[in-house]
Amino acid sequence: MPQIIDGKAISAQIKEEVKAQVAAYREQGAEITLAVIQVGNDPASGVYVGNKKKACAYVGIRSLAYELPEETTEEELLTLISDLNRREDVHGILVQLPLPAQIDENKVINAIDPRKDVDGFHPQNVGALCTGQDGFVSCTPAGIIQLLTRSGISVAGKECVVIGRSNIVGKPMALLLLKENGTVTVCHSKTKNVKEVAKRADILVAAVGRPRMITEEYVKEGAVVIDVGIHRNAENKLCGDVDYESVAPHTSAITPVPGGVGPMTIAMLMYNCVEAYRFRERNQ
């Protein structure tokens, strides 16, 4: 039987740790604050933003909500970010993606002060990760490292295969696994023989965005399988990028969907907000 990596329990543990740290800073008079910006009313974004606000309230972080209309211009959004960058009482800034078509996402990401970029998307933070320097790390891959570490799974010396190369998940995931001394291969839509490459993995991370694509044919006997995907199937039930039923019996450890990687993202966002506060305090 594989070890089921319990993202619900591990994320709850991280949130409790963050809550205790936030309470300790509050005792010293600090109010850690995250500004959350949503443009338009995409229902999925609304759910994500709602969950982030709830998590802030739970751990004791103040959240400032900016709900801007769909027709907001790029200039208006950049002006708001510039104001928030300057505000002493704001430690973290998060812009919920995707943005409406009239706004250039890269311009917006680049406009956020890297010291407040709790999503870890700013090129300065990505560069820091690339060169082994301190900075914010994208929450989902950072959460996956926590899942592995806290489940007693070491990465050093292992063959790691990441399927997917997005800026938010695949690329930072590969860099983090490399930092943990894994031997890392990244697959994408142009990779030949993805099955054969994936089958080499001791640790396989599926961030491909295709429901249940990863079947047992992609998985080496005894591998650790991390499923980043989130989809709704025909019966409106959540499923991942991994065909859990066929794959799980062949693994030594696996994340379920739901209850695996999903809850880690917000827990790591909370963690990054405390880091943003600490960074400010250290550098004042």
Q: Any contact of residue 5 with ligand NAP (CB under 6 A)?
A: no
At its nearest, how many Å lie between ligand NAP and the CB of residue 212? 11
Catalytic residue among 15, 21, 38, 96: 96
Least distance to ligand NAP, CB of residue 56, Å: 17
- Is 52 a residue of the active site? yes
Q: Are 252 and 224 in contact (CB under 8 A)?
A: yes
Q: How far is the CB of 252 from ligand NAP (least distance, A)?
A: 21
Instruction: State yes or no: cis peptide before 258, omega within 30 of 0.
Output: yes
CB 124 within 8 A of CB 135: yes
- Near ligand NAP by CB under 6 A: residue from 118, 144, 207, 270: 207
Q: Determine the longest span between alpha carbons in the chain, in angstroms.
A: 57
Q: How far is the CB of 167 from ligand NAP (least distance, A)?
A: 8
Residue located via tokens 């990244």: 186
Q: Kindly name the residue from 6, 15, 52, 241 that is annotated as catalytic.
A: 52
94 near ligand NAP (CB under 6 A):
no
CB of 29 to ligand NAP, least distance (A): 33
Tokens standing for residue 132: 């082994």
Among the listed residues 136, 207, 122, 202, the one whose alpha carbon sits nearest the alpha carbon of residue 171: 207
Sort strands 238-239 and 231-232 into parallel, antiparallel or unpaired.
antiparallel
- Residues 24, 16: Cα–Cα separation, whole Å: 12
Partner residues linked to 231 by β-bridges = 239
How is residue 284 written in tokens?
A: 């004042």
CA 43 to chain centre: 20
- Only segment of 15-23, 94-102, 157-165, 276-284 that touches ligand NAP (CB under 6 A): 157-165
Helices in 60-161 by DSSP H: which ranges?
Answer: 74-86, 105-111, 123-130, 139-150
Q: Is 116 a catalytic residue?
A: no
d(CA 78, CA 86): 12
Does 265 bind ligand NAP (CB under 6 A)? Our answer is: yes
Task: Match 């023989």 to its residue by tokens.
Answer: 193
Residue from 230, 252, 258, 259 in contact with ligand NAP (CB under 6 A):
230
Window of 55-63, 96-104, 259-267, 274-282 that interacts with ligand NAP by CB under 6 A: 259-267
- Tell whether residue 138 is a contact of ligand NAP (CB under 6 A): no
Stretch that binds ligand NAP, among 38-46, 93-101, 177-185, 225-233 (CB under 6 A): 225-233
Shortest distance, position 227 Cβ to ligand NAP, whole Å: 9
Length of the chain: 284
Q: Judged by CB under 6 A, does residue 164 bind ligand NAP?
A: yes
Among 55, 144, 208, 225, indicate the residue that binds ligand NAP (CB under 6 A): 208
Binding interface with ligand NAP (CB under 6 A): 140, 163-166, 168-170, 187-191, 194, 207-210, 228-230, 241, 261-262, 265
